[in-house]
Amino acid sequence: MHVAVETAVRMLWPTASASDARMMARRFRDDPGRHFRAYTRGDLTFPQMRARRVAELASWLGVALPAQGWEWFEAAYAPAFTAALTVYADVRPAIATLRGVGLAVGVLTNSSADYTSQKLTAAGLDALFDIVVTRDTLGVGKPDRRVFDHACALLGDPPARVAYVGDEYDVDPLAARAAGLQGIWLRRPGDVADPADLADATARGIPVVASLADLGPLVAGR
């Protein structure tokens, strides 16, 4: 995402410095206007959400946004994102391990259906999952428990027999736990976490893993 935003920024605002482009990339990912959360609640469409995030960048930098600015941004962003996309080395082995003990594996994401399909295909992961549930499936995303319930129903198991792993504490392991699933928090080396979230995870007994390789022993034993 950072690479793609920097590429788009340099195209849309050629006078922006390299430092500005880097800061805008971080700001886009952090989404201080919480437009992505509005999208997951069903308050915005995907294009509306992305347009508002680009407009927020222009406002922060103090530059004008052309009438078709977000469309031009997207035109530069999409190919740069795909080109920079890589798969963590632990993904395919983890899926193989889980399947090896008879478990189904699915995707539950707050991204749009089209965007998710594009990312999975570009990453070569599109044929590895039994189900894919996106924000577009029900019109809302995590932390709404309805999407967790729907994913469990597609898997054919009650929430108590489903584990969910994700890297954003509130919408992933915490929301999964609230929906009755086993929430697992993925914190890869270098990930920054709020100390309050770490303390809360410990108090709730939410497992924390540093790699998907840790999922096999954790999940298979149950």
Instruction: For residue range 59-82, list pLDDT tens digits in order.
Output: 998 888 888 888 899 999 999 999
Measured CA to CA, the distance from residue 65 to residue 195 in angstroms comes to 38
Give the pLDDT of residue 95: 94
Give the C-alpha separation, 200 to 210, whole Å. 17
Contact residues for 126 (Cβ-Cβ < 8 A; gap 6+): 117, 120
Residue 132 sits in the same domain as residue 35: no
| Domain total of the chain | 2
Q: What is the pLDDT of residue 180?
A: 98
Q: Is the pLDDT confidence value at 220 over 70?
A: no
pLDDT digits (tens, 9 = 90+) for 97-115: 999 988 999 999 999 999 9
- In terms of pTM, does the model score above 0.85? yes
Same domain, 103 and 12: no
Helix (H, G, I), strand (E, B) or coil at 66: coil
Give the distance from CA 108 to its chain's centroid: 9
77 and 95 fall within a common domain: no
* Domain interval for residue 205: 91-220
Residues 208 and 170 in one domain: yes
Residues 160-191 pLDDT 10s: 999 999 999 999 999 999 999 999 999 999 99
Long-range pairs, 77-82, Cβ under 8 A, ≥24: 77/4, 77/5, 77/7, 77/8, 78/4, 80/3, 80/4, 80/7, 80/8, 81/1, 81/3, 81/4, 82/118, 82/122
Residues 112 and 19 in one domain: no
Q: Which has the closest alpha carbon to 91: 142, 132, 125, 43?
A: 125
Confidence (pLDDT) at 67 = 82
Mean pLDDT for all residues in the chain: 93
Q: Mean of the pLDDT values across residues 200-204?
A: 96
The pLDDT of residue 221 is above 80: no
CA distance 83 to 122: 9
Considering the domain architecture, whether residues 144 and 193 belong to the same structural domain is answered as yes
pLDDT bucket at 218, cuts 50 / 70 / 90:
confident
Residues near 84 by beta carbon (within 8 Å), at least 6 away in sequence: 3, 4
Tokens coding 190: 């270098």
